[in-house]
Protein backbone atom coordinates (compact mmCIF):
# COMPACT_ATOMS: atom_id res chain seq x y z
CA UNK A 1 0.00 0.00 0.00
CA UNK A 2 2.81 2.37 0.82
CA UNK A 3 4.13 2.17 -2.74
CA UNK A 4 0.69 2.80 -4.22
CA UNK A 5 0.11 5.76 -1.89
CA UNK A 6 3.51 7.19 -2.76
CA UNK A 7 3.16 6.75 -6.51
CA UNK A 8 -0.56 7.54 -6.65
CA UNK A 9 -1.17 4.58 -8.95
CA UNK A 10 0.99 1.73 -10.20
CA UNK A 11 1.02 -1.54 -12.06
CA UNK A 12 2.62 -4.68 -10.67
CA UNK A 13 6.04 -3.93 -12.19
CA UNK A 14 5.98 -0.40 -10.75
CA UNK A 15 5.33 -1.81 -7.28
CA UNK A 16 8.00 -4.49 -7.68
CA UNK A 17 10.57 -1.91 -8.82
CA UNK A 18 9.71 0.48 -5.97
CA UNK A 19 10.27 -2.11 -3.24
CA UNK A 20 13.52 -1.85 -1.26
CA UNK A 21 16.56 -3.23 -3.09
CA UNK A 22 17.02 -6.17 -0.71
CA UNK A 23 13.42 -7.29 -1.27
CA UNK A 24 13.41 -10.34 -3.50
CA UNK A 25 9.71 -10.85 -4.03
CA UNK A 26 8.51 -12.59 -7.15
CA UNK A 27 6.23 -10.81 -9.63
CA UNK A 28 3.45 -13.29 -8.83
CA UNK A 29 3.77 -12.58 -5.10
CA UNK A 30 3.32 -8.85 -5.66
CA UNK A 31 0.42 -9.48 -8.05
CA UNK A 32 -1.30 -11.76 -5.55
CA UNK A 33 -0.87 -9.16 -2.81
CA UNK A 34 -2.34 -6.43 -5.01
CA UNK A 35 -5.33 -8.64 -5.82
CA UNK A 36 -5.89 -9.41 -2.14
CA UNK A 37 -5.75 -5.69 -1.31
CA UNK A 38 -8.27 -5.07 -4.08
CA UNK A 39 -10.56 -7.84 -2.80
CA UNK A 40 -10.43 -6.25 0.66
CA UNK A 41 -11.42 -2.87 -0.77
CA UNK A 42 -8.11 -1.02 -0.35
CA UNK A 43 -7.38 -0.79 -4.09
CA UNK A 44 -9.21 -0.71 -7.40
CA UNK A 45 -7.78 -1.18 -10.83
CA UNK A 46 -8.17 0.20 -14.32
CA UNK A 47 -6.92 -1.47 -17.44
CA UNK A 48 -4.04 0.08 -19.37
CA UNK A 49 -3.34 -2.06 -22.42
CA UNK A 50 -2.67 -5.54 -21.10
CA UNK A 51 -1.80 -4.50 -17.55
CA UNK A 52 -3.85 -3.43 -14.57
CA UNK A 53 -3.06 -0.12 -12.93
CA UNK A 54 -3.94 -0.10 -9.23
CA UNK A 55 -5.27 3.00 -7.45
CA UNK A 56 -5.81 3.49 -3.72
CA UNK A 57 -9.41 3.56 -2.55
CA UNK A 58 -8.62 4.46 1.05
CA UNK A 59 -6.21 7.12 2.23
CA UNK A 60 -3.17 6.38 4.36
CA UNK A 61 -4.45 8.28 7.43
CA UNK A 62 -7.71 6.30 7.56
CA UNK A 63 -5.87 3.00 7.36
CA UNK A 64 -3.39 4.07 10.04
CA UNK A 65 -6.18 5.16 12.39
CA UNK A 66 -8.10 1.91 11.89
CA UNK A 67 -4.97 -0.22 12.36
CA UNK A 68 -4.07 1.66 15.52
CA UNK A 69 -7.59 1.27 16.94
CA UNK A 70 -7.44 -2.45 16.20
CA UNK A 71 -4.00 -2.78 17.81
CA UNK A 72 -5.07 -0.86 20.94
CA UNK A 73 -8.18 -2.99 21.23
CA UNK A 74 -6.50 -6.31 20.61
CA UNK A 75 -3.14 -5.96 22.35
CA UNK A 76 -3.52 -3.15 24.89
CA UNK A 77 -6.86 -3.89 26.57
CA UNK A 78 -8.47 -1.00 24.69
CA UNK A 79 -6.21 1.41 26.59
CA UNK A 80 -4.34 4.09 24.62
CA UNK A 81 -2.48 4.89 27.85
CA UNK A 82 -1.14 1.32 28.01
CA UNK A 83 0.01 1.58 24.38
CA UNK A 84 1.84 4.86 24.99
CA UNK A 85 3.41 3.69 28.25
CA UNK A 86 4.72 0.55 26.48
CA UNK A 87 6.06 2.65 23.63
CA UNK A 88 7.87 4.99 26.00
CA UNK A 89 9.26 2.12 28.09
CA UNK A 90 10.44 -0.01 25.15
CA UNK A 91 11.73 2.60 22.71
CA UNK A 92 14.76 4.84 23.01
CA UNK A 93 12.92 8.12 22.51
CA UNK A 94 15.01 11.26 22.36
CA UNK A 95 14.34 14.22 24.62
CA UNK A 96 13.01 16.07 21.56
CA UNK A 97 10.56 13.24 20.75
CA UNK A 98 9.36 13.12 24.34
CA UNK A 99 8.86 16.89 24.34
CA UNK A 100 6.88 16.64 21.10
CA UNK A 101 4.65 13.95 22.63
CA UNK A 102 4.10 16.16 25.68
CA UNK A 103 3.13 19.07 23.41
CA UNK A 104 0.70 16.88 21.45
CA UNK A 105 -0.95 15.76 24.68
CA UNK A 106 -1.29 19.34 25.90
CA UNK A 107 -2.73 20.47 22.54
CA UNK A 108 -5.39 17.74 22.65
CA UNK A 109 -6.86 18.97 25.93
> What is the domain range of residue 88?
60-107
Kindly state the percentage of the chain with pLDDT values over 70: 100
Name the band, by pLDDT with cuts 50, 70 and 90, for residue 39. very high
What's residue 88's pLDDT?
87
Instruction: Residue 35: give its domain's CATH number.
Output: 1.10.10.10
Average pLDDT over residues 91-95: 88
Report d(CA 92, CA 48) in Å as an integer: 47
**Helix, strand, coil percentages, rounded to 5, for the chain:** 60, 10, 30
- Is the domain of 65 the same as that of 48? no
pLDDT surpasses 90 at 42 = yes
Residue 47's DSSP bridge partners are 52
Our count of domains for the chain comes to 2
Amino acid sequence: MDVIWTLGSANTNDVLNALPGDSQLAYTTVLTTLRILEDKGYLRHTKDGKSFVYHPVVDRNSVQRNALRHMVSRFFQNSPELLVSNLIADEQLSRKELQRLKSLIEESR
